[in-house]
Chains A and B, each alone.
Chain A
Amino acid sequence: MLTSRKAAAALTAALTAAGLTACSDDEPDDGRTHITVTIDAGLEQDAIDAFNTRIEQFEDANPDIAVETQEYTWTAGTFTAQLAGGTLPDVFVVPFTDGRGLIERGQIADIGDLTAALPYREDYNPNIAAAGEDPEGDMWAIPISAYGQGLHYNRTLFEAAGLDPDAPPTTWAEIRAAAATISEETGEAGYAVMTNDNTGGWILTTVVNALGGRTDDGTAATIDTPQMREALADLQAMRWDDASMGDNFLYDWGTINQEFASGRIGMYVSGGGNYGNLFTQNALNPDDYGLTVLPLADSPDAGVLGGGTLSAVSPNAEAAEQDAAVKWIDFYYMEKLTVQEAAVADAEVKAETGQPVGAPELPVFDKATYDEVQTWIAEYVNVPVDQMAPYTSQVFDQPLLNEPVHATQEVYAVLDTVVQTVLTEEDADVDALLAQAQADAQAAIDAAA
């Protein structure tokens, strides 16, 4: 009986220990400031090694800081709970759209003083800096990259369909024609769109912007516009008349990348810098990849929707940790944009471990700085730059638009329904759909105000 009691006690102790070790770890007391930084989920071992190498370089240069990694992907819904539960890493990245809301609600650390001391603080492109600033102009979150939307296409499928991969479509009509040809000749989906998880609205807004329209006018929702109808009519034509969009329509950002990388989609619209994800996380064959700009309508309002990534610090971080966090952000994300040594070091590590170097981005500061960086890392560039030339040679001339400011994600969610309905119901009543979407979007904007 005593032995069984001991066994029971031991079991309890073991379970407790197991439970507690799964708890937040107490920081070891070695005099260093400990910070946790975010690392993307699902990376290949090479990418993880590259990241760890950079951490070592940072710790060498800053012996009083220790860096641990935490796999973390920012999701809107669980963020507040994780904040309350204290399980956020100290440094994490958020998209531009969500940054503004976080700053408004004070849900990230106010590092305005620390960022003001950064040497390049004034060099930011004002549009891009605004994404991370509070109303007083203090920078709470540091923009670390920016991109513009583009049209990704599969060169191999183009060739198989008899199209010239070096002459991608330059108008929406050409896109539609190319999609029809691809699906006829190869049986794969010629054109695909994201539809789920707010990405449907995001891409629809992108296309509407490229046609010269907007989804809000700064204060109210403007869903039912000629450009919106044109975008939807195009989709309907491709889906039901040409049958060039394949058979599956429930795509979000990750799954459409996956499908494209496995060669089952001819063209799709997404952020211009996707090559990284396609290559590292979805095993894209580089020879398949092509990138071109979105066709812009002949209208002064037509523009390319831009986006980007902010790096933020958890409000749970103490002052010393915030300081260390900003140093890390500066080292890992920013230095390679301004300092030659850092850019080369970063490119070198990435190239050695087979990570993509030179994927297209938009300048965070100004074009001149961006071009300079490109020359520094020229020898390490391992992405097929020629195949991306249609994009890189034209995107800088396209007007860059910011995402809508009010209730962005909620309006996207409303538009998700519109896109999904158009793609899954053959005789969708577009008038009714748009009327409903207008009402819902306006309600969302009102609720967020």
Chain B
Amino acid sequence: MTSTDTRPAGVTGDRARPRTAARPGRRGPLARARGGLPTLVFLAPMLIVFGAFSWLPIGRAVVMSFQRTNLVADPVWVGFANFQQVFADPQLWTAVQNTAYFAVLALLFGYPIPLVAAILMSEVRRFRGLFSALAYLPVVVPPVVAVLLWKLFYDAGEDGVFNTVLGWAGLGPYAWLQDADIVMPSLVLEATWAAAGGTVIIYLAALTGVDPSLYEAAEIDGAGVWRKLWHITLPQLRGILLVTFILQIIGTAQVFLEPFLFTDGGPANRTLTLLLLIYRYAFTNSLGGDYGAAAALSLLLALVLTAFSVLYFRLTRSWSGS
């Protein structure tokens, strides 16, 4: 164990260890401090916060999924009963379907559109800042404000905002959130509006980083705009496209705010997503919270997402060169 200088820095400095600086080595310049008190002091906040609020809860989630807890009495071990209960719940299947529907719709709307917009924006000569600011503005609006505002827009009466505007074009009043068939697309529309701007900016940054010499070489070979797009731009973006894809999947699989605030899972559970179901298990059960079932379902969802991510990275590693 190296001797540690426990006197505060700035008082004594490191007078005692001039030779360390001259020593060549694999270890960092403050080799003496490895494992010493200063290191511990610096590691402490992270270790405490992560320990108490990240690592421990993850472990606790696993434990809780095998217990029945009601906060007053001691938890009771019930083995796989929570998982069985979750699988036997008819609402589980509904939630899985709805969540998958949301994720697919969100991909359809929210994946290509930002790309197209970013590609267009990357060719803007002047006022690109204006484009960026306009695109990013919905991202800055607090999500709760956005949802409540859109809830108003989606008023199903003739005098609802959207219905009025569509009425100018002669399109009939739609029931939006009151119609079981278009309620989920309505939610996805708002979610895309709120999030697309961030994706646009990410793509834009990647696009401006594409090496122009690649384009030049292609032009020498006589490539037109579309061919350059297809053979250079998109492949160059491949890395970022793959990452945003998986991030979007993971994010939309855990959607909570929109179903909760727009329709509370309705009408008739058509917008009940997995997160909302977990929330209901834990926090709206009149018997006082079925925390075990909530933990069990959370774990299941996490396992599925993790497995999906691992599979995804394996598959895409063979596709992307880098």
Cβ-based interface call for B316 (8 A): no
Query: In the complex, are the beta carbons of A425 and B287 less than 8 A apart?
Result: no
In chain B, positions 224-277 with a C-beta closer than 8 Å to chain A are 263-264, 266-269
Whether, in the assembled complex, A134 has its beta carbon less than 8 Å from a beta carbon of chain B, the answer is no
Complex: how many Å from CA A111 to CA B123? 75
Q: What separation, in Å, do the CA atoms of A250 and B287 have in the docked complex?
A: 25
Give chain B residues whose Cβ lies under 8 Å from the Cβ of A77. Answer: 282-286, 289
* Chain B contacts with A in 272-316, Cβ cutoff 8 A: 282-289
Q: What sequence of 0s and 1s flags, for each residue 63-88 of chain A, a beta carbon within 8 Å of any chain B beta carbon?
A: 00000000000001111110110000
Query: Judging by beta carbons under 8 Å apart, are B173 and A250 in contact?
Result: no
Selected contact of A107 from candidates B10, B178, B288, CB within 8 Å: B288
How far apart sit A425 and B179, CA to CA, in the bound complex (Å)?
A: 7
Q: Give Cα A367 to B49, complex, Å.
A: 61
Q: How far is the CB of A94 from chain B (nearest CB, A)?
A: 11
Q: Does A249 contact B (CB under 8 A)?
A: yes
Interface residues on B, range: 20 to 34
Contact B264 A250 (CB under 8 A): yes
Q: Are B180 and A410 in contact (CB under 8 A)?
A: no
B29 part of interface (Cβ distance < 8 Å)? no
- Chain B residues lying within 8 Å of A423, measured Cβ to Cβ, are 178, 267
| Residue in A76, A416, A420 whose beta carbon sits within 8 Å of that of B284 in the complex | A76
What chain A residues lie within 8 Å of B284 (beta carbons)?
76-77
B179 touches A424 (CB 8 A): yes
Q: Is the CB of B286 within 8 A of A98?
A: yes
How far does the alpha carbon of A248 sit from the alpha carbon of B264 in the complex, in Å? 14
Alpha-carbon separation in the docked complex, A239 to B173 (Å) = 16
Complexed CA–CA distance, A81 and B289 (Å): 8
Which residue of A84, A421, A436 is within 8 Å of B72 (Cβ)?
A: A84
In the complex, are the beta carbons of B157 and A250 less than 8 A apart?
no
Convert A84-112 into 0s and 1s, putting 1 for each residue whose CB lies closer than 8 angstroms to a CB of B. 10000000000000100100010100000
Smallest CB gap from A75: residue in B: B284
B104 at the interface (CB under 8 A from A): no
Structural contact, A80 and B10, CB atoms closer than 8 A: no
Does A417 interact with chain B (Cβ within 8 Å)?
yes
Q: Which residues of A contact B10 (CB under 8 A)?
A: 1
Q: Bound state CA distance, A416 and B158, in angstroms?
A: 26
Output the nearest chain B residue to A252 by Cβ-Cβ distance: B264
B177–A250 touching, CB < 8 Å: yes
Question: Which residues B22-76 have CB closer than 8 A to chain A?
Answer: 70-72
Partner of B71, one of A81, A247, A409: A81
Closest CB of chain A to B105's CB: distance in Å? Answer: 19
Compute how far the CA of A436 lies from the CA of B180 in the bound complex, rounded to whole angstroms. Answer: 18
Minimum CB–CB distance for A34 against chain B, Å: 24
Interface check A197, CB cutoff 8 A: yes
Given contacts A77-B285, A196-B266, contact A247 B173 (CB under 8 A): yes
Interface of chain B residues 153 through 167 with chain A (CB within 8 A) = 155-158, 160
A399 at the interface (CB under 8 A from B): no
Residues from chain A with a CB closer than 8 A to the CB of B267 are 195, 249-250, 420-421, 423-424
Instruction: Tell me whether B90 is interfacial, beta carbon within 8 Å.
Output: yes
How far is B71's CA from A421's CA once the two chains are assembled, in angstroms?
36
Q: Which residues in B have their C-beta under 8 angstroms from that of A384?
A: none
B283→A78 contact, CB < 8 A: yes
Question: Smallest CB–CB gap between A252 and chain B, Å?
Answer: 8
Query: Contact at A250–B285, with CB atoms within 8 Å?
Result: no
Q: A1-B10, A80-B70 are in contact. Are A197 and B289 (CB under 8 A)?
A: no
Residues of A in contact with B (beta carbons under 8 Å apart)? 1, 76-81, 83-84, 98, 101, 105, 107, 195-197, 246-250, 409-410, 416-417, 420-421, 423-425, 436, 440, 448
| Given A196-B266, A250-B264, 11 other A-B residues pairs in contact with their CB atoms under 8 A | A77-B283, A78-B283, A105-B288, A195-B267, A247-B160, A249-B178, A250-B178, A250-B267, A420-B267, A421-B267, A424-B179
16 contacts between A and B (CB under 8 A): A79-B288, A80-B288, A80-B289, A83-B71, A101-B287, A107-B72, A247-B156, A250-B266, A250-B267, A417-B268, A420-B266, A420-B267, A420-B268, A421-B268, A424-B178, A424-B179
Give chain B's interface residues, CB within 8 Å of chain A: 10, 70-72, 90, 155-158, 160, 173, 175, 177-180, 263-264, 266-269, 282-289
